[in-house]
Amino acid sequence: MKLLRYGNKGAEKPGIIDSAGAIRDLSGVVSDLDGKAITPQALQKIAALDIAALPVVPGDVRIGACLGNVGKMVCVGLNYSDHAREADLPIPEEPIIFMKATSAINGPYDDVELPEGATKLDWEIELGCAIGTRAKNVSEAEALDHVAGYFIVNELSERGWQMDRQGQWTKGKSHDTFAPLGPWLVTADEVGDPGALDLLLRVNGDVRQNGSTKNMIFNIAKIVSYVSSFMTLEPGDIISTGTPAGVGLGMKPPVFLGDGDELRLEIKGLGHQQHRVVRQSA
């Protein structure tokens, strides 16, 4: 199933994509697409519906972040060997994890803010996964059973704030609009193998990132198991699993985003995102 949220920011409603590609309204079934709606039991209830009998949503509606009421957003750094090399950093011996503020979550076609004082805004296409059942100290063999579905994340970064302003990476990762999610949350059964997905990101039409989750250093099962050994993952929590080579920081010389730049992100089977960078208003 391809699940999504639509409507004005802060007032999104849940929806599902039907066999013809139209959005059908799910608000009579679940109040929102959040942790409560993506448990195995809730997804079984949605899967049993007659989708064709649900109300059709107009095609020009805004698409919001594919998951609401996110409890926490955990990110993995340097999880592709080619990205570690372009950053001139050693291959990690275990996953590098950090938190990204949930206030950064944004819609898949919304504008991305260029913050006041920012000079090194960078792009990062990533595979995100949503937790559907509580995970605490789970084994790698059981880890994928706790994943409800997958989606695209643009894990945007202000590299100057991330690397030059002391402390942890979080401050460079968490500005408003720095975490577009979606357009869809595609359920795990439909995605199949999350370790064999192609990722593509363009800036102003030029290909910048062209990778595959086959090249992850730590696969999804390892990541979920690893994170669950440090913190309990609850339904509705999300993990962004790292980016392949091709970020602006890795270019020689580095290239960063400016006002008016256009971004397009695609992951096979998960749809696409489209953003315009706009200078933060006063």
Task: Judge residue 10's burial from the number of C-beta atoms within 10 Å of its C-beta, 0-12 exposed, 13-18 middle, 19 or more buried.
Answer: exposed
pLDDT of 2 strictly over 90: yes
Sheet bearing 206-212, strands edge to edge: 112-114, 272-279, 262-267, 198-203, 206-212
Pair of tokens at residue 7: 């409507």
* CATH class given for the domain over 68-279: alpha beta
Residue 129 CA to residue 224 CA, distance in Å, equals 9
Residue with tokens 């059981």: 142
Q: Which pLDDT value is given to residue 136?
A: 98
| 39 in Cβ contact with 24 (< 8 Å) | no
Q: Which pLDDT value is given to residue 282?
A: 62
Instruction: Map out the domains of the chain as residue ranges.
Output: 68-279
Nearest to 208, CA basis, from 264, 258, 152: 264
Q: Give the DSSP H or E segment for 208.
A: strand 206-212
Question: What three-state secondary structure class fits 73?
Answer: strand
Residue 74 CA to residue 147 CA, distance in Å, equals 14
Digit-coded pLDDT (tens) for 93-128 = 999 999 999 999 999 999 999 999 999 999 999 999
Q: Which residues contact 91 (CB under 8 A, 6 or more apart)?
A: 78, 81, 84, 217
Q: What are phi and psi of 30, to 5 degrees?
A: -135, 150
pLDDT of 27 strictly over 70: yes
Q: Give the DSSP H or E segment for 267.
A: strand 262-267
Q: Which residues pair with 201 in a beta bridge?
A: 209, 265
Q: Which pLDDT value is given to residue 113?
A: 98
Q: Is the pTM of this model over 0.75?
A: yes
